[in-house]
Structure 1
Amino acid sequence: MDYGLVGNCQYNALIDPNGNVAWLCWPRFDSSFLFGGLLDSNHGGRFRISPGDDSRGEQSYLVNTNVLRTEFTTDRGRFEIIDFAPRFVLFERYHKPTKLFRIVRPLSGEPVIRVEIEPKGDYGRVTPTPVFGSNHIRYNGLDQELRLTTNASLSMIAEQRDMVLREPLYFVLSYGEPLEANLEHTCKEFLERTIQYWQTWVKHCYLPLEYQDAVIRSALVLKIHQFEDTGAIIAATTTSIPEAHGTVRNWDYRYCWMRDAMFSLLALQRLTQFEELEGFVSYLRNLTEVSQDGETRLQPVYGISGEHALIEHILDHLEGYRGHQPVRIGNQAYEHLQHDVYGELILAISQLFLDRRFINPEQGMPITLITRLLNHIETYLEAKDAGLWEFRGIAQLHTFTLLMHWAGASMVHQIGETHDLPELKTKAEALHRRASALIEDRCWDEQLGAYTIAAEVDALDASLLMMINLGYLDRDNPRAHRHVDAIARRLDAGNGLIHRYTMQDDFGATENAFLICSFWLAEAYARLGRRAEAEALFNTLLANANPLGLYSEDLDPKTGELWGNFPQTYSHVGLINAAFALARHDEGHGFFNPRYYRTSTQASDQ
């Protein structure tokens, strides 16, 4: 999975070491690809700048940015490609156009390059017609105008002929509004301002003392997975990269899962980045207060404009990633019952109610939103659902869902205390006690020495490592150590990594290690004071990133290959939280201070 990622909170693109744009969806994350060679080498099109052969360049990021550099060394000389999606403040707003900038510069000698561009529409079913202007190529047949503006020879591009690179060449691919300004000046100015924007953003992050490079890269990944126009946060840039070789677990992750958004927002808040939270709350309020269908429950996933129906389709004309079909767009998970979302959303937005920087008496606080979410917890407290892992056709009383009920109610208790809302506080306290009692009475398995995946089900679930990381179990509780050890032993995937679960589901048994679960395990070890185990596992995980420090969803422990949609925000959230848990100045507790939430129903080992 050796791809570099660029993006600007409007779109993301993946660029491979061969200089090809392997994935680019315009105008939004969830649009059809213009370049989708990731999923089909023939129907996916290409935008490749290379030495004209299969040479691989060396990729790196400009320090503390989402600006990608690919350097090629050939017999004729060396050259570099600078790829970026512009993002900076312009006229007091963020400028984030649907434009991809590619700057090609000679470094030594007289290298030869070849430019190949063949965009596609409608997921590869449409090949637009090129029309040549004086300094640009316009591609007709798409929903909006696609234009390549360049100072390179259009004839050499059209004929895919080699050209000697003696001076910098500039390429701006635009969708909708074309580039009308001076090409060279605009490329240089936009590059400089985009670098400055990202480096300033990173400078404002609060970082642990250790592992800063990995945390910074993960933070930058999370940032550009928010669709700033609405505030939605997508789970990953891609669709249909399978979870393992030979599997049909190929899903479309270009949508906003409530759970994934919660994890991303909490990680960003840990870094003291909050504007993403404000954007997401606007998205959430549009879902809950301006409901399209008047629904009383929340779906686990929505489209990035709040679309409710994400009907799943199979694109059988595409060969799939490394030949793995099916290729899916849409996601059936929108139909699922996943009741953990209510507690997760409370956790995600809680800082708006607890941090004085966000409390504005003149605007008033959306307490009605918190009340509505707490009411959902009360309604669905003992309801069965599809669970965190979205089992298709299996409904159980999932322990993780109960944990999220507990955590959400616990946080509302604190909000009620802070804002002197006694009725809300009393109701929240009662619900978090009930959730805790259900966990203790129905989900602990003495023989396994662990909390199980669901009530009265003798199988384990790596997501329940969050019982430690959220503060439900602290390091003084003997059950905490037994629970972690049981998960690490029974869900072992090899090389210290773990599966998310091993029970059979709708598609058989899972094969690869699920990366966020392994990060959760490293974090749990750290929070239990088992630093040596935490550091060993964390260092193993760091060694399994791609060359640019990026992660997909899954990892083959035997080969070290990354599988699953890429980059996966879950994995980068896990890295950030584990790094903070390992930081020597960390207080040793999870997302929120558990001193507020200890209850008499939480048992120590018996």
Structure 2
Amino acid sequence: MDGALRDDAGFVDLRSYAAIGDGRTVALVALDGSIDWYPTPDLDSAPAFARLLDAEEGFLSLAPTAPFSVERRYADGSNVLETTYTTAGGTVRVTDSLNTGVAGRLPWGELARRVDGLTGSVEMAWSVAPGTCFGGASPWVDTGAGQPILRIDGAALGILGIDHGVRHAGGRSVTGVFTTSPQSRHLVAVVSTHGEPLPLPDPQTIDDGVDRTIANWQSWSDAFGYDGEYRHAVLRSALTLKLLLHSPSGSIAAAATTSLPESLAGGKNWDYRYAWVRDTAYTLHALTRAGIREEVHAAVSWMLKNLRAQGADLEVFTGLNGDIPEGTRRPDLTGWRGIGPVVDGNPAAGQLQLGVFGDIFDIVWQYVQAGHALDPATMRQLADLADLACDVWQRRDAGMWELPEERHYVTSKLGCWNALRCAVLLADRGQLQGPVERWASERDRIRDWVHEHGWSEERQSYIWYPGSTELDASILLHAMSGFDTGPRMSSTLDALRAELGAGPLLYRYSGMQEEEATFVACAFWMVSALVAVGRRGEAVHLMEELVPLANDVGIMAEMIEPSDGAFLGNLPQGLSHLALIVAALTLSGES
């Protein structure tokens, strides 16, 4: 691949980005060696490095000074990135790692960029140049500790290295140049803390940490309990989801970024660095089926703790630490390729989304099916939520797609149907106590309502909401839930592909062809739905078309523009990767 990929404004295609992480935050590495996104200390912190969203907002570059070509991969079974640069004078390999410790996550951030000379000699230049933390601070260089330290908004960023050729340590950035030779070893590292003292480890310890981090990831991958079809893509997706798991709390971020546009026209720019109950449910569904245990338990426990604190006022998403979101702000930044706005926060907070009931119960049912047991407090909590679902399913809501128009969305009703279905199943397992007869009765009432009001004879399809003839791809989830796997659902799949399809991809709902790109998860949901209705041959063909749509290292964004395959929306996007996992598991016949 050609390394000269930046446009005149300093941006690269979203397909250019690979992701690395340490269980607390995620950094995005472009093909040209620039880290354009790196919030510290947490994924939802104001990022000191955000060239992803504004060319002036900070980066950590490392690349040959001469023209180069690029090949890259992740070290086997890991989230450590290996990039090989080839110039006319030689080749080098850069290994990018957010290091982990001997016993898990380090108590500080440790970004290591190891450079190995392979052939010839290559002059390498690097720069650590923070931005303004979304317009909130101004960086400065402190040299009082004997090593250059960049300070910004309470964060301290120590610059360490091995044969890294520091040239400048003043003003607002630290830079350097060095030349490789065969078998030479170099290191540029950024060690960070926030509001606390800054450790400055021996650079050799940091370099050794790269190998330890690879081994830590490989140990996790070795325990990954799936060996069926598309294993490489499934493992890569699981590793990507692991990047979105916030280890201090157990929460799961929907994506690693904010404000990447869903439309080239702008306006649809959201912050996905929050934990949605919906996304948590789908992620745990995938990870449970793949045999992942520790992260599933942590996320289930975190979610139930948060719900207990909320009572009947269910929040559809929270901060990664469980806090209730407090509005939004719009920093004065350009946005990726000038497509604004940049948004810190998400306006969907406080919406009524009935599907959240189904998400909660689906998580718990998956957990119990995996052989685990609920505690008495959780049983009481879930019984109350089942009673509440019996009452609120008749209300209008914002729907799965978080729209401003409240309607009787069919899939919202089916979320409540799934909640009550799971409540009855949990009671049958002895894991829930309450008015089971009422839960079963309301479950059946919802089923009858959907059959009467959610089906269009004209379209031969389930529709988006009563009185319309518009379609909604989220109905695919209820082929997977088992609500309908018969002729009506099969006919609905044909209608969705006819109206919302763009090659193998799908738009979210009617009318979106004019407003945004296709939604990646919907296409993988179609794979699973085709299997559910008995059309496995079509599902296999579709899966074969979809898997190669990831970028060169297996990362997927929220959306893909079908005309040219360009990524749009936030990335890595959890829903996209977990939908791939579920599709592969379904094709392999995994329970």
Q: How does the TM-score come out when normalised to structure 2?
A: 0.91
Give 1:144 deviation, angstroms: 2.9
Q: 1:522 to 1:495 in 2, by over 3 A?
A: same
Deviations 1:299-333 (A, max 9, x none): 21111122213312112x21111110111110010
- Give the Cα separation in 1 of the matches to 2:219 and 2:443: 41
Contact 2:148–2:169 (8 Å) recurs in 1:
no
Deviations 1:123-165 (A, max 9, x none): 1553311123676311134313221122323226768464212
Contact 1:12–1:29 (8 Å) recurs in 2:
yes
Q: 1:54 to 1:403 in 2, by over 3 A?
A: farther
Deviations 1:258-317 (A, max 9, x none): 1111111111111111222222233223322234xxx622121111122213312112x2
- Give the Cα separation in 2 of the matches to 1:128 and 1:185: 27
Out of 349, 352, 363, the residue aligned to residue 337 of structure 1 is: 352
Out of 231, 235, 257, the residue aligned to residue 250 of structure 2 is: 231
Q: Partner residue of 2:12? A: none
Q: Partner residue of 2:426? A: 415
Q: 1:120 to 1:65 in 2, by over 3 A?
A: same
Give 1:586 deviation, angstroms: 3.8
Deviations 1:317-350 (A, max 9, x none): 2111111011111001002111110110111122
Contact 1:231–1:283 (8 Å) recurs in 2:
yes
- Give the Cα separation in 2 of the matches to 1:322 and 1:285: 40
Deviations 1:101-125 (A, max 9, x none): 1111111112110011111232155
Contact 2:277–2:303 (8 Å) recurs in 1:
no
- Give the Cα separation in 2 of the matches to 1:472 and 1:558: 34
Q: Does 1:553 align with 2:566?
A: no
Q: Partner residue of 1:382? A: 394
Q: Does 1:485 align with 2:499?
A: no
Q: 1:367 to 1:208 in 2, by over 3 A?
A: same
Secondary structure, in 3 states, of the residue corresponding to 1:230? coil
Give 1:243 deviation, angstroms: 0.9
Give 1:200 deviation, angstroms: 1.6
Q: 1:329 to 1:420 in 2, by over 3 A?
A: closer
Secondary structure, in 3 states, of the residue corresponding to 1:551? coil
Q: Does 1:142 align with 2:160?
A: no
**Is there any run of 5+ residues in structure 2 with no aligned partner, and where?**
1-14
Q: Partner residue of 1:98? A: 109
Out of 76, 79, 82, the residue aligned to residue 66 of structure 1 is: 79
Deviations 1:359-413 (A, max 9, x none): 38xx656212211321231231111100001112x01111111111111111111
Give 1:96 deviation, angstroms: 6.1
Q: Partner residue of 1:597? A: none
Out of 272, 285, 305, the residue aligned to residue 286 of structure 1 is: 305
Q: 1:436 to 1:122 in 2, by over 3 A?
A: same
Q: Does 1:207 align with 2:221?
A: no
Give 1:24 deviation, angstroms: 0.4
Deviations 1:458-487 (A, max 9, x none): 21100101121111112xx21121111111
Secondary structure, in 3 states, of the residue corresponding to 1:33? coil
- Give the Cα separation in 1 of the matches to 2:125 and 2:303: 46
**Amino acid paired to 2:232:** D
Deviations 1:212-260 (A, max 9, x none): 1100110011112011111211110011111122231111111111111
Q: Does 1:252 align with 2:271?
A: yes
Contact 2:463–2:472 (8 Å) recurs in 1:
yes
Q: Partner residue of 2:379? A: 367
- Give the Cα separation in 1 of the matches to 2:307 and 2:536: 42
- How many residues matched? 568
**Amino acid paired to 2:148:** I
Out of 288, 297, 319, the residue aligned to residue 303 of structure 1 is: 319
Secondary structure, in 3 states, of the residue corresponding to 1:80? strand
**Amino acid paired to 1:171:** V
Q: Within 5 Å, which residues of 2 pair with 1:337-486? A: 337-356=352-371, 358-359=372-373, 364=376, 366-392=378-404, 394-419=405-430, 423-474=434-485, 477-486=486-495
Secondary structure, in 3 states, of the residue corresponding to 2:284? helix
Out of 186, 191, 195, the residue aligned to residue 174 of structure 1 is: 191
- Give the Cα separation in 1 of the matches to 2:110 and 2:191: 4
Q: Does 1:29 align with 2:43?
A: yes
Q: Partner residue of 1:599? A: none
Q: 1:210 to 1:459 in 2, by over 3 A?
A: same
Q: Does 1:109 align with 2:150?
A: no
Q: 1:345 to 1:47 in 2, by over 3 A?
A: same
RMSD of aligned alpha carbons:
2.1
- Give the Cα separation in 2 of the matches to 1:89 and 1:213: 27
**Is there any run of 5+ residues in structure 1 with no aligned partner, and where?**
588-606
Give 1:433 deviation, angstroms: 1.1
Secondary structure, in 3 states, of the residue corresponding to 2:547? helix
Contact 1:99–1:175 (8 Å) recurs in 2:
yes
Q: 1:465 to 1:352 in 2, by over 3 A?
A: closer
- Give the Cα separation in 2 of the matches to 1:523 and 1:350: 19
Q: Partner residue of 2:508? A: 500
- Give the Cα separation in 2 of the matches to 1:161 and 1:75: 21
- Give the Cα separation in 2 of the matches to 1:380 and 1:53: 64
Out of 264, 273, 280, the residue aligned to residue 283 of structure 2 is: 264
Q: Partner residue of 1:533? A: 538
Secondary structure, in 3 states, of the residue corresponding to 1:468? helix
Q: Does 1:569 align with 2:574?
A: yes
**Amino acid paired to 1:65:** S
Secondary structure, in 3 states, of the residue corresponding to 1:60? strand
Q: 1:557 to 1:450 in 2, by over 3 A?
A: same
**Amino acid paired to 2:570:** N
Deviations 1:528-560 (A, max 9, x none): 232332122212211211111111011111111
Q: 1:288 to 1:108 in 2, by over 3 A?
A: same
- Give the Cα separation in 1 of the matches to 2:575 and 2:232: 18
**Amino acid paired to 2:44:** D
Contact 1:86–1:97 (8 Å) recurs in 2:
no
Q: 1:149 to 1:566 in 2, by over 3 A?
A: same
Secondary structure, in 3 states, of the residue corresponding to 2:467? coil
Contact 2:379–2:433 (8 Å) recurs in 1:
no
Q: Within 5 Å, which residues of 2 pair with 1:68-87? A: 68-87=81-100
Q: 1:354 to 1:424 in 2, by over 3 A?
A: farther
- Give the Cα separation in 2 of the matches to 1:579 and 1:464: 19
- Give the Cα separation in 2 of the matches to 1:440 and 1:390: 24
Q: Partner residue of 1:580? A: 585
| Identity within the alignment, % | 27
- Give the Cα separation in 2 of the matches to 1:30 and 1:104: 29
Contact 1:552–1:565 (8 Å) recurs in 2:
yes
Q: How does the TM-score come out when normalised to structure 1?
A: 0.89
Q: 1:424 to 1:126 in 2, by over 3 A?
A: same
Q: 1:55 to 1:351 in 2, by over 3 A?
A: same
Deviations 1:50-76 (A, max 9, x none): 112564532210011000011111122
Contact 1:414–1:425 (8 Å) recurs in 2:
no
**Amino acid paired to 1:489:** A
